[in-house]
Structure 1
Amino acid sequence: MNDWLITALQIAAALLLDKILGEPNRWHPLVGFGNIAKLLEKKTNNSHQGKGRFIGSCCCLVLVLPIPILLFFLQANTPLFWALETFILYLAIAQHSLAAHAQQIYYPLKHNDLPKARYFTGFMVSRDTQQLSKQQMIRATVESVLENGHDGVIASVFYFTIGGAPWVVLHRLINTLDAMWGYKNSRFLHFGWCAAKLDDLLGFFSACTSCLMYGLQARPVSKVASILRCAWRQSQQYKSKNGGLCMSVGAQVLNFKIGGDATYHGKPVIGVTLGAKRQVILSDIPASIKLVKQASALWLLCILILGILCQIL
């Protein structure tokens, strides 16, 4: 069996584990990592400008490099290491939890329970949710699904394909730090600079892959090129270029528009519109979940076909 077939089987097994088990309720490694990162930031983030950037960069590298380096030197072409890699990929994938969080908003909205929907929306987005309307909550949920479909699903299977467990862990830890330290406020503007830049760099390649996997679900498929061109233009004005790429492609494939103005931490933020056509509606939440799931399945299919071709030839 060639390496591509082994990789396809590992991805399939990890996605299956995620579907059956979901995220671990206790002792999730990323939770522990986040607690360590929070403590380290609290102890060291007391400088500004150049010094703060240097200290933040050192903290970032100290946190994210040891485990990938260890896994790199532990790599072995054995069933035991394949199983370890599969388990690590399962821990990195968040497809089941992403769908579950979105459904926690979808069902209250379906029954017009807006307070409950606002409560659960607060778990998915960093913007203020207490005054959000039904339509605004739908938009926030769909945006989160499309963006985190990249961060928590497609990026992990992409980096697993090109570099195995070391690259999966490297990307996931950097992405976690960016979510914690990547804010452009007085506290994190300099300290979180390294985490934000590394996440932008690694995320670009996986975001392009996500865009392709989203875009290939467009009907007719001949629209893919124009969708990708439009997404590139729109994302250049969005606060997160990688996130904007994924959201724009997803929105165009599903024929709705998202983005625009929002309130974050009490401050209004003017945003660009992504996608096209109509406003989002309630049924777009399950449609977005399905788009992400089919994107991961499509990537798996590509790797499986490549493995079969290599085996035959």
Structure 2
Amino acid sequence: MDTAPLLLCALLLDAALGEPKWLWARLPHPAVLMGRAVSALDQRLNTGSNRKGRGIVAVAVLVLGGGAIGTGLSLFGPVIVTIAAAVLLAQRSLVQHVGAVADGLRMSLQQGRRNVAMIVSRDTRDMDTSATARAAIESAAENLSDGVIAPAFWFLIGGLPGLVIYKAVNTADSMIGYRTDKYLHFGWAAARLDDVLNWIPARLTALMIAALSGGLHQWQAITADARRHRSPNAGWPEAAMARALNIALAGPRSYDGTIQPLAWVNAGGRVPLTAADIDAACAILWKTWGVFLGLAVLLSLF
């Protein structure tokens, strides 16, 4: 099955409809089902000794299960494949959630904090306007890569099975891929495989953002900032977004009441941020989506 024209249709369908509330109020979203699967494996396997081995088994189950589900759905033909792919892409919903933070900040700082708390895991209670905007923009950059470009990339490479496998692994990483006492060993396989699957998409996302903003001449600086980031992949789209907007991202922030002294991305960029900077980031999200859509068109033709 030729995946490029199906991806083109899926990208357009997702952009047009996003995640209809009327549908997902009645049915569990596939991401929710994946989360339940990860939670069940966590409860079942994350006990006793050899937790790293048990974590590898959990990831193997997710990969095999995701591949089987994707293959099974593919048997129903291109229409079902296109709809399923559109459901697992997140462009429109990403822009809506990030844009809601800007809308909230225009109402009040408290509303901005409430809205950003829906998309980030850091402490938001004491954020000022700049910190709130910064968190939203960082989430926009990172999720553009792992919520849009990466799943689209793996759909092109492996069809619907590749896309479902990627989303299952990415969901597992978001739930158990932490360096805590509970997940340091059990979540190791999920975190490492997610790193591998996002390696190319993260850099591709950064390249597209830089090209759109005329920042390719800053690629060395983007690379240097990305390599200072705590994540081997998230730093790439964040560094490109920071240069595109000429702002400073990342830096110290609070998790569970403890300040983490994280390095700044584009440390020489502007630090005071407003809702307008979030709007500018959302515009870049759509422009990058448009470039990838164009690539899908070219692949469909040739």
Choose from 108, 126, 133 the match for 1:131.
Answer: 126
Q: Which runs of 5+ in 1 are unaligned?
A: none
Q: Secondary structure at the match of 1:268?
A: strand
Which deviations, in whole Å up to 9, do the C-alpha atoms of 1:21-73 show, x marking residues without a partner? 2225232111012022113212321236xx01111111121123223145347
**Do residues 187 (structure 1) and 206 (structure 2) align?**
no
The offset of 1:288, in angstroms, is: 1.2
2:89 pairs with 1:93? yes
Choose from 263, 270, 275 the match for 1:278: 270
1:263-288 Cα distance to aligned partner (Å, 9 max, x none): 11222111111135212332111211
- Superimposed CA distance per residue, residues 136-172 of structure 1 (whole angstroms, 9 cap, x where no aligned partner): 0000000000100111011111112222111111111
Q: Does 1:303 align with 2:302?
A: no
Q: Which residue of 1 aligns with 2:164?
A: 169
Measure the CA separation in 2 of the matches of 1:228 and 1:259. Answer: 18
Partner of 1:28: 29
Map 1:38-77 onto structure 2 (within 5 A).
38-47=39-48, 51-72=50-71
CA deviations on 1:252-303 (whole Å, 9 max, x unpaired) are 1222110100111222111111135212332111211221221121012123
Tell me if structure 2 keeps the 8 A contact 1:158–1:209.
Answer: no
* Alpha-carbon contact 2:5-2:296 (below 8 Å) kept: no
> How far apart are 1:203 and its partner, in Å?
0.4
SS at match of 1:277: coil
1:110 is the counterpart of 2:103: no
Q: 1:287 to 1:192 in 2, by over 3 A?
A: same
Deviations 1:202-246 (A, max 9, x none): 100111211122121023xxx41x333222211222111200011
Secondary structure at 2:212 match in 1: coil
Q: Report the Cα distance in structure 2 between the residues aligned to 1:71 and 1:127, rounded to whole angstroms.
A: 33
Identity of aligned residues (%): 31
Shift of 1:93: 0.7
Alpha-carbon contact 1:214-1:295 (below 8 Å) kept? yes
Structural mapping, 1:220-259, within 5 Å: 223-224=215-216, 226-259=217-250
TM-score (norm 1): 0.88
**RMSD in angstroms over aligned alpha carbons?**
1.9
**2-structure distance, mates of 1:271, 1:56:** 28
| Partner secondary structure for residue 233 of structure 2 | helix
Candidates 130, 137, 140, aligned match of 2:135: 140
**1:92 touches 1:156 (CA, 8 Å); kept in 2?**
yes
Kindly state the Cα deviation for residue 201 of structure 1 after the two structures are TM-superposed: 0.4
Alignment correspondent of 1:214: 209
* Contact preservation (8 Å) 2:41, 2:58: yes
Per mean C-alpha deviation after superposition, the further-off stretch among 97-106 and 256-265 is 97-106
Structure 2 unaligned regions, length at least 5 = none
**Which secondary structure state, in structure 1, belongs to the residue aligned with residue 118 of structure 2?**
helix
Letter in 1 for 2:44: K
Tell me if the contact between 2:73 and 2:80 (Cα under 8 Å) persists in the aligned partners: no
